[in-house]
Each structure stands twice: as C-alpha cells, then as structure tokens.
Amino acid sequence: MSGKRSLIRSGTTVDQMVRAIGDRIVTGFLRPGEKLDEASLAARFDVSRTPVREALGQLSAMGLVERRPNRGAIVAVVTQEHLASMFESMAELEAICARFSAERMTSSERRALEIEHQGSARLVQLRAEEDYEYFNTEFHTRLYRGAHNAHIYEMTVMTRSRLAPFRRAQFMLPGRLAKSWQEHDAIVTAIMRGDGAAAGNAAKDHVSIVSEASAVFAVGDQPKVASTMPVTAG
Amino acid sequence: MSGKRSLIRSGTTVDQMVRAIGDRIVTGFLRPGEKLDEASLAARFDVSRTPVREALGQLSAMGLVERRPNRGAIVAVVTQEHLASMFESMAELEAICARFSAERMTSSERRALEIEHQGSARLVQLRAEEDYEYFNTEFHTRLYRGAHNAHIYEMTVMTRSRLAPFRRAQFMLPGRLAKSWQEHDAIVTAIMRGDGAAAGNAAKDHVSIVSEASAVFAVGDQPKVASTMPVTAG
DNA sequence: TCTCGAAAAAGTGCATGCAATCGTTGTGCC
DNA sequence: GGCACAACGATTGCATGCACTTTTTCGAGA
C-alpha cells in the first residue's frame, strides 16, 4: 500500500482529502455532530492517517470541522445563535457584493448576468427545483465575482460553504421559486441601473428571506448530489 | 527527545505552532515572501516536523502562508491589488460592526466604550504612539464585539490579522494620532446616539484613511513586540 | 439493581523513516 | 563561451510506530 495511488488525483493528497471531506460536509453527506474517525477516513480513502489529520486541521481552520484535543474531530455543529449570525453575515456580504457589482461590473459581466437571469425564468415555470438551485448558485457567484474584490469574494464563498448544510431545503417551500426569481430580478434591475444602494438592499432582503426559509428546516437532511466544494477563491 | 516538552504549553503542540508561527507573521518578524523551512521551524521550536507541517497547513487555510506543492511554504505574499481588496473589505466590515454596535450594544458596553475612548485623549496629547496603538486595537475590538454577531467578529478579526503586517507604521505619520482620535470620536458619538448609519459611515471613513496611510509603507518593517495573535474568536 | 472503580480497548498526538520531487551544480557538447 | 543534460544534495510528502489520553467495559461491593 505504499507509493501508488489507485485513483488519478490532482494536487497533494492532503488537498484531495480537504476537498473530499469538505465536500461530504457541505453536501450534507456527513451531518453536523457526526464523528470523524481518523482511521476510518484513512481506510475509506486509502491513505495513511497523516494526510487525514492534516486535512482535518485545515477544515477545522475553515470552521467546517470541530476538533477537541485528544477527543477526536466532529463535523462542526453550530448553535442556533451562531447559525443566525452566519445568515446575518451572509446578508451583509451579499449586500456588499451587489452594491459593488452595481458600481463595478463590466458591461460584459452585466450582459451575462442579465441573460442568465432571464433564461432562468423558464425554470421557474417548469418548477425545476434542482435546475433552479444550480442556476441560483451561479447567479450568486456572479454577484460575488462582479464585486471585483478578491477578499470579499473569499469570505462570501467561505460563509456560503459553511451555510450550505443548512439551506438545502430552501426551494421546497411552496412558491419559493417564483419569489426567488422576483427578488433576483430586483437585484438585476438595480445593478443594470448602476444603483448600488438599491442593489445592496435588494440582495440583503433576498438573503434574509432565504435565512428565514432555511431556519425552518435547520438541521438534518439526506445527501443529494456530489458537488465540488467551492471553498477557495478561483 | 520523546514525550516530555521542555516548556509548559497549553493546548496541543500544533495549536502552539499555529500561534507561534502566526504570531511571528502578523508581528512582522517573518516577512512576506520569507521561506518557511519545516526542518528549521521544527528545530527552532524543538518539535518534530509533523506538527509544524500541520500548523503550516492551517495557516495556509487562514491565508497567512502560501504552500506550493513540493516546493515548501512561504509567508503569504499579497499583491498590491489583493492588499487593496483586504483594506476595502476591512472598511466594509468595520462599518457593519459600527452600525450593529450602534443598534445593539448594551448600556454597559456603551459606557465602557465611551470611558475608554475619553481616557485615551491623554495618550494623544502625550504623543504616546505605542500606548495609543494598544488602545486603538482595544477600541476596535470593542466595536467588533459590540456587533453581537460571532461570525462577523471572526471574519473581522481574521482580516485584521492578515492586514497587521501592513499597517504597523500607520501612527508614524505626523498628526495621525490626533486625527485618529477625532475619527474615533465621530464613531463613538454616533453609537451613543444609536445612529447606525452614521456610525457605519464614520467607521468606513476611518478605516479608509488608515488604508491610505498604510499603503505608503506597504511591505517590510522591523519586528517590534510579540503579541498573541488574535486569529480565532474568543 | 445500582454505583464506584480499575483494567482493557480504542483512538489521538507526535516522532521517525523512507520515497519522491525539486533545485543546483558540474560536465560534456555545440 | 554558452547551453543542455545528468547526477547530486536538499527538502517535501506520506507511512508507520509508539506513547499517552480518553472512553468503555467488566466486576466487586453496597
């Protein structure tokens, strides 16, 4: 079991582990509070405990994992209060991104945002929750990038990752899809006008509503689909 | 060399290393771009390479060090552009903290803030840069805490740590001390009035000015004083 | 049956060792 | 004299092993 890796892997083993474990956390495959046994993880991914340990350390630094000295690691379990603080932060961060986007997006960025947004109207009529969820992520990522600020981008994507386990059910609420699209529309309109303040307010309201919708479902849900965890900036 | 640690240490060895190395980075003892040799660090702190490696991994996740696969780690070197993005983020974060502080601080928090602020006026007259710097950190930390939002607190403290190496010379500019105090005064006044918008604007202006002052000095400076790195929330 | 305690089992924390990779120096060739 | 290439040295990446801590289990006494 030395030397050869069975699968083709890019980057170092530790990076792979960070992605693999982090992915399972943000997609809900590993649930908050679940124990992360080093030996099991090592066996599961066919590596030794060392890279697993390093990965857990990094995930701990990111806030996805909680490490108790000599007592092992668990998937970070956040209190209701801390969860609320993250949603509130998310609203503020999105507001900043929207405001900056309104002020700074290039014309091609604006065009792409509008085209994608208009294209998604179809998904609402079809009630295609899964597809809309994908579009939704894309849409918000455009806002984060459009802010043209690398550090805010990092913080925002990071916060979104940490919130991911708690917001998966947001589009299950009846009528949420159409409402979401209208809220996006308000943001897009403001950005097109170059009205930073309005864009910021619209984005903040949008996230606040998502927050309330997600709070209902709070903890626990089944795993759905694997997605590469977008923890670091690109 | 197995088992016993020569010094009394709290927490795990890895935590110690994260603090020790991170401290040396944010205090400027280790300069951006400097090579971080695992063996040297291990020898320097009298531990094996394993905890050093883990610590470097965590610091990398925090953005304080940069790791190139198979090519070792260096103290994170930020481009002028990324530095600007961090200062801008800092201004936004401080604005949020000030706004929330104005809306949420308890009366005892307000009282403590005002008392400390008034007390610092003496330091300005004495031109006590060192002491004022300490007060300044305390003052801002009060704002971060006063926001009553754990996640924003984490992000703000984190960003401040990453900016620390670049803002050490801010009070060396002539007249900066008095100006800083006046800016603080505007923030405090707004908070006392409970005027969130005004507090936010005042805080944003304050940090923006610091940003410009620091940009002049940009990279490089001598180490000064060891301080426990406040990377994680408390 | 319940409680307390000690021994065993499990699991983490760190040190060490070896293989793989990168940077460098020296040598041959153009 | 300059450039390409190969061998060497230095350093990272990971596996393994052992010590220590925590948890669990089992048994004795109340």
Q: Are A130 and A18 within one domain?
A: no
Over residues B73-99, the mean pLDDT reads 94
Full domain range(s) for residue A55:
13-75
Q: Are A169 and A104 within one domain?
A: yes
Does strand D come within 7 Å of the CB of B71?
yes
Residue in the block written with tokens 């170059």: A194
Q: Are A35 and A129 within one domain?
A: no
Name, in order, each residue with C-beta under 8 angstroms of B223's C-beta and a sequence gap of 6 or more: B24, B27, B28, B29
Among residues of chain A, what percentage have pLDDT more than 90? 66
Q: Are A104 and A121 within one domain?
A: yes
A200–chain B nearest CA distance, Å? 13
Q: Are B202 and B188 within one domain?
A: yes
Give the closest of B11, B81, B85 to A152, CB-based: B85
Q: Are A59 and A97 within one domain?
A: no
Sheet containing A65-68: order of strands = A35-36, A72-75, A65-68
Distance between the alpha carbon (CA) of A64 and the C1' atom of C15, Å: 28
Is the CB of B53 less than 8 angstroms away from the CB of A53?
A: no
Domain harbouring B46, CATH code: 1.10.10.10
Domain harbouring A136, CATH code: 1.20.120.530
Q: Which of A151, A159, A162 is the best substitution to test chain B (most B C-beta atoms within 10 A)? A: A151
Look up residue B166 and give its DSSP letter: G
Distance between the alpha carbon (CA) of B64 and the C1' atom of D15, Å: 28
Residue A71 in any domain: the answer is yes
Name, in order, each residue with C-beta under 8 angstroms of B138's C-beta and a sequence gap of 6 or more: B116
pLDDT for B169 equals 65
Q: Are A110 and A190 within one domain?
A: yes
- Last residue within a domain, chosen from B75, B100, B125: B75
Q: What is the pTM of this model?
A: 0.86
Residues in A closer than 8 angstroms to B92, CB to CB, are 96, 152
Q: Is 90 exceeded by the pLDDT of residue A121?
A: yes
Residue B2 in any domain: the answer is no
Over residues A42-56, the mean pLDDT reads 95
Is the CB of B88 less than 8 angstroms away from the CB of A12?
A: no
Name, in order, each residue with C-beta under 8 angstroms of B111's C-beta and a sequence gap of 6 or more: none
Residue A183 in any domain: the answer is yes
CB B214 within 8 A of CB B143: no
Closest C-alpha among A141, A140, A122, A144 to residue A131: A122
| Banded pLDDT at A209 (limits 50, 70, 90) | confident
Give CA–CA dist B108/B115, Å, rounded.
10
Over residues A62-72, the mean pLDDT reads 93
Q: Are A152 and A177 within one domain?
A: yes
Cα B48–Cα B52–Cα B56 angle in degrees, nearest 5:
165
Residues in B closer than 8 angstroms to A81, CB to CB, are 150
Give CA–CA dist B177/B169, Å, rounded.
12
Give CA–CA dist A197/A104, Å, rounded.
13
pLDDT for A20 equals 93
Residues in B closer than 8 angstroms to A151, CB to CB, are 82, 85-86, 88-89, 159
User: pLDDT (tens digit, 9 = 90+) per residue, B133-166?
Assistant: 899 999 999 999 999 999 999 999 999 999 988 8
Give CA–CA dist A204/B174, Å, rounded.
40
- Last residue within a domain, chosen from B59, B75, B91: B75
Residue A154 in any domain: the answer is yes
Count: domains in chain B? 2
Is the CB of A82 less than 8 angstroms away from the CB of B151?
A: yes
pLDDT for B228 equals 46
Distance between the alpha carbon (CA) of A34 and the C1' atom of D26, Å: 28
Q: Are B170 and B209 within one domain?
A: yes
Q: Are B153 and B70 within one domain?
A: no
Calculate the CA A221 to chain-centre distance: 16
User: pLDDT (tens digit, 9 = 90+) per residue, A3-14?
Assistant: 333 333 457 889
Name, in order, each residue with C-beta under 8 angstroms of B126's C-beta and a sequence gap of 6 or more: none
| Banded pLDDT at B13 (limits 50, 70, 90) | confident
Residue in the block written with tokens 């693999």: A20
Over residues B41-58, the mean pLDDT reads 95
Q: Is 60 exceeded by the pLDDT of residue A112?
A: yes
pLDDT for B12 equals 80
Does strand D come within 7 Å of the CB of A1?
yes
Q: Give Dmax over CA atoms of chain B in angstroms.
A: 60
Instruction: Report the 10 Å Cβ neighbour count for B149.
Output: 24
Within residues 30-69 of protein chain B, the ones with CB less than 7 A from nucleic strand D are 36-39, 49-50, 53, 67, 69
pLDDT for A207 equals 86
Nearest 5°: phi and psi at B63?
A: 95, 5
A197–chain B nearest CA distance, Å? 13
Residue A210 in any domain: the answer is yes
Residue A102 in any domain: the answer is yes
Q: Is 90 exceeded by the pLDDT of residue A105?
A: yes
Q: Are B141 and B187 within one domain?
A: yes
pLDDT for A167 equals 78
Look up residue B31 and give its DSSP letter: P
Residue A233 in any domain: the answer is no
Amino acid in position B41: L
- Decide which of A232 and B27 is more confident: B27
Residue B222 in any domain: the answer is no
Q: Count of alpha carbons within 13 Å of B7, Cβ hemisphere only? A: 9
Is the CB of B58 less than 8 angstroms away from the CB of A58?
A: yes
pLDDT for B164 equals 87
Instruction: Report the 10 Å Cβ neighbour count for B167.
Output: 19
Closest C-alpha among A222, A138, A122, A208 to residue A172: A222
Q: Is 70 exceeded by the pLDDT of residue A97?
A: yes
| Residue B109 tokens, joined | 């928090």
Distance between the alpha carbon (CA) of A163 and the C1' atom of D18, Å: 40
Residue in the block written with tokens 């801008």: B88
Task: Please give the interface size between A and B, counted as residue pairs whose CB atoms are below 8 Å apart.
Answer: 68
Amino acid in position A174: P
- Decide which of A172 and B206 is more confident: B206
- Last residue within a domain, chosen from B28, B51, B75: B75
Q: Is A3 left (phi over 0), alpha (psi -120 to 50) or beta?
A: left
User: pLDDT (tens digit, 9 = 90+) per residue, B176-220?
Assistant: 889 999 999 999 999 999 999 999 999 999 988 877 766 544 444
Closest C-alpha among B27, B15, B12 to residue B221: B27
Cα distances from B134 to residues A198, B28, B97, B116, B137, in angstroms, run 38, 16, 19, 12, 5
Q: Are B89 and B204 within one domain?
A: yes
